[in-house]
Amino acid sequence: MKADVTTLDAGSAGSVELPDAVFGLDPRKDILQRMVTYQLAKRQQGTHKTKGRSEVTGTTKKFVNQKGSGGARHGNRKVPQFRGGGKAFGPVVRSHAIDLPKKVRALALKHALSSKVKEDNLIILDDAKMAAPKTAQLRALFGKLGLKSALVIGGSELDANFELAARNIPLVDVLPAQGINVYDILRRDKLVLTKAALESLEARFK
C-alpha cells in the first residue's frame, strides 16, 4: 500500500510503499492485550519486601508459662500476632515478568502498526530535524500536522535539537527506531514514523 510522505512543516514529500505484511494486517485485540500485559509486568520493579518471623530481631525465649496464665500458649514474641513480629506470607522481592514467545511479540508490533494504519492515524515524516531546540517552534509545526497526542519514531540516532524541543511538549514521546514498542504506540493517538524509521522496520521484519 502507498502512503504519502509529509515534511515537518506540513508540505508534501512524495510517497512510500508500506509492506502489507507489516502494515496491512487485521489487528487482533487479544494479541495486543497480551503484549501490553507483558510489557507492564516486565517493567515492575518487584522490590516490595516485608520481614518474616525469621528476620525480625527479638528473643526466642519463652516469655510466659505454658499453663496457668489464663492466656494463650506462646513461645516467642517474633510471631505475626504480636506487634513488632514478622509478617505472615508478606511480599518478597521477585520478578513480575511473564513469558511471551518471541514470535508473538513480533506479531503484536505488526498488529499495533496495522491498527494505526486502519484508524488513519499513521503519519510518514520525511525527516525529524530542527536547526535549534525551540519548543514553541516545534509545537507550532505539530499544530500544522494536527498532532496533539503522538509518538514520533526517528532513525537509529535522534536529532538532538528535535529531541530537546519535543521534551517539554505534553502527550508527545520521541523514541529511536530500536525503541519502538506496542505499549507506547497504543497510548498515543498518532504514530509518526520518519523514513529512516520505516527503513529500520522493514529491515527488522525482512
Domain total of the chain: 2
Determine the structural domain holding residue 33 and report its residue range: 2-45+96-204
Residues 148-176 have a mean pLDDT of 94
pLDDT per residue as tens digits for the range 181-205: 999 999 999 999 999 999 999 999 9
Domain CATH number, residue 151: 3.40.1370.10
Residue 150, phi then psi, degrees to nearest 5: -150, 150
Examine the domain organization and report whether 168 and 193 are in the same domain: yes
Examine the domain organization and report whether 58 and 85 are in the same domain: yes
Output the pLDDT for position 171: 95
Closest CA to 127 of 170, 178, 161: 161
Examine the domain organization and report whether 105 and 181 are in the same domain: yes
Examine the domain organization and report whether 60 and 138 are in the same domain: no
Examine the domain organization and report whether 86 and 104 are in the same domain: no
Examine the domain organization and report whether 85 and 105 are in the same domain: no
Helices 102-118 & 29-42 angle (0-180, nearest 10): 120
Q: Is the pLDDT confidence value at 1 over 90?
A: no
